[in-house]
Amino acid sequence: MAAHSAASASGFIGRITATVNRGLVAASLDRDYIHKKEITDIKEKPTGTFDGIGKGFKSLGSSVASGIFGLVSKPIEGSKDGALGLVKGVGIGFAGLVTKPVTGVVDLVSKTT
Return the pLDDT at 5: 66
Whether the CB-CB separation of 56 and 110 falls below 8 Å is answered with yes
State the DSSP H helix or E strand holding residue 68, giving kind and residue range, or none if neither.
Answer: helix 49-79
Helix (H) or strand (E) holding 112: helix 83-112
What pLDDT, on a 0 to 100 scale, did the predictor assign at position 2? 64
Determine the pLDDT at residue 90: 92
User: What average pLDDT values come out for the chain (113 residues) when binned by 10 residues?
Assistant: 65 77 82 86 82 87 91 90 90 90 86 77
The answer to whether residues 100 and 28 touch, using CB atoms and an 8 Å cutoff, is yes
Query: Measured at the alpha carbon of residue 54, what is the angle toward residues 48 and 55, in degrees to the nearest 5?
Result: 85
pTM of the model: 0.77
CA 20/CA 99 separation, integer angstroms? 12
**Cα dihedral across residues 19, 25, 26, 31: positive or negative:** negative
Dist CA 86 CA 75 (whole Å): 5
Q: Do you know the residue count of the chain?
A: 113
